[in-house]
Structure 1
Amino acid sequence: MATKIFITDDHYMIVEGIRSLLQHEAGVEWMGHAMTAASCLAFLRQQQPDVILMDISLPDMSGIDLCKTVKENYPAVHIVGLSSFNQQSFIQKMLDNGASGYTLKNATRDELIEAIDAVMDGRIYLSHDASVTMKSNKDAKLPVITRREKEVLVLIAEGLTNNEIAEKLFISSTTVDTHRKNLLTKFEAKNTATLIKMAVQQHFI
């Protein structure tokens, strides 16, 4: 089944450029584009794509805020931040608000396809330049976690079991367990107690 792609960007040349890169790609279905946050949300009330390539600078709302709104209302939609800004703060804010990836507007066709495939597989994707920025930042030693992982982390610290967390977040206990394992890996923690200690030390909770 083809992956349904939608783009939200107020620069028509960017939209056309990305469309030309992806329109003939096997396994990709182009659903269209929006040039404002309002038109993006209006589209989502009618149809939901699998992946939105989302500019972080829009005329009526920050893409960072739009990302949060979309994920709160349409959690199944994957979002890849799309920007000319290669700054750690922007990248982290998009991830904190639920984005599954971040790529720059100079991305190649291969990078875009890689980003789409990664987020559809449930992985976090950072383009090469964005990844270098995160690693070279003074806080590079801090793990990069998603908003959902942050929610799970906070509830783990509160002493809730996987089943209790699942009930609170309206997800399966299997999904909670996956998030727990990912957190242990990202923090390089051997157990939950160490995970909580490191998360407190690094101001995640």
Structure 2
Amino acid sequence: MDKIISVIIVDDHPLVLNGLQFILRNTKTIDLKGCFISATDALAFLEIEKVSVVLMDINMPEMNGIDATLEIKKKYPQTHVVAISNLNEASVADRMLQSGASGYLLKNIAANELIQAIKDVDNDQKIVSKEMQAAMEHRKTEIPVVTPREKEVLAHLAEGKTTPEIADLLFISKLTVETHRRNLLQKFNVSNAASLIHKAAEMKFI
């Protein structure tokens, strides 16, 4: 007998919400626990009800899907979040996945693909729509545009300097250094300083 997977949907578009609801309510292996038009309502629900998979829109009022995912993964690390969005931008998908999402799907996905994606993430797999995979692969080959200040921060990071040291050397605040560092990670499509330095060296930035 197939495992029953508990799911909630978070999306502020009634038409999308109704469509997803129809698909999931007619799937025997899915237990649809609720539908919410705001992330704050969904978070309140998760305080009282355990859920396996959250289908999460990104652009929503009050709290966006990226911030909501961070909150969910902090409080309920066993809960899988899957972005389901119209945004086919690699940078948005990167941010969502870095926030702890287990997948990124576009809203043009077929019903059977959606059901399979839910099963996959429930089995601790990562899933990304084929269109998004192509966009993200394309982005990886692009040469990032780096500002002169970011190049300075990058050079100091490569020398092993800490955030406070870089702030002192460049006469800027530690917060500004962290902002530049975060922007560099995003531009080079990496998740940590070691990978950043390695990739930047490969691309002859340092």
Question: SS in structure 1 opposite 2:121?
Answer: helix
Corresponding residue of 1:8: 10
Corresponding residue of 1:105: 107
Equivalent residue letter for 2:71: T
RMSD: 2.1
1:46 aligns with 2:48: yes
Equivalent residue letter for 1:115: A
Structure number with greater Rg is: 2
Quote the offset at 1:26 in angstroms: 2.2
- Distance across 2 between alignment mates of 1:127 and 1:197: 28
- Distance across 2 between alignment mates of 1:118 and 1:136: 25
- Distance across 2 between alignment mates of 1:35 and 1:139: 37
Question: SS in structure 2 opposite 1:86?
Answer: coil
Corresponding residue of 1:136: 138
Quote the offset at 1:138 in angstroms: 3.9
Corresponding residue of 1:92: 94
TM-score, structure 1 as length reference: 0.68
TM-score, structure 2 as length reference: 0.68
Mapping of residues 46-65 of structure 1, within 5 Å: 46-65=48-67
Corresponding residue of 1:202: 199
CA contact (8 A) 1:4 1:29 kept: yes
Equivalent residue letter for 1:202: K
- Distance across 2 between alignment mates of 1:56 and 1:11: 11
Corresponding residue of 1:81: 83
Question: SS in structure 1 opposite 2:63?
Answer: coil
Corresponding residue of 2:124: 122
Q: Which runs of 4+ in 1 moved over 3 A?
A: 196-200
- Distance across 2 between alignment mates of 1:56 and 1:8: 9
Gaps of 5+ in 2: 143-192, 201-206
Distance 1:138 1:35, change over 3 A: same
Gaps of 5+ in 1: 141-195
- Distance across 1 between alignment mates of 2:79 and 2:27: 20
Identity of aligned residues (%): 33
Corresponding residue of 1:185: none
CA contact (8 A) 1:111 1:127 kept: no
- Distance across 1 between alignment mates of 2:89 and 2:50: 29
Measured against aligned partners, the alpha-carbon deviations of 1:54-104 in whole angstroms (never above 9, x if no partner) come to: 001111111111100110001110000011000001100011000000001
1:23 aligns with 2:20: no
Quote the offset at 1:38 in angstroms: 1.2
CA contact (8 A) 1:57 1:63 kept: yes
Instruction: Report the more deviating stretch, 23-32 or 51-60.
Output: 23-32
Equivalent residue letter for 2:57: D
Quote the offset at 1:107 in angstroms: 1.1
Equivalent residue letter for 1:10: D
- Distance across 2 between alignment mates of 1:126 and 1:88: 11
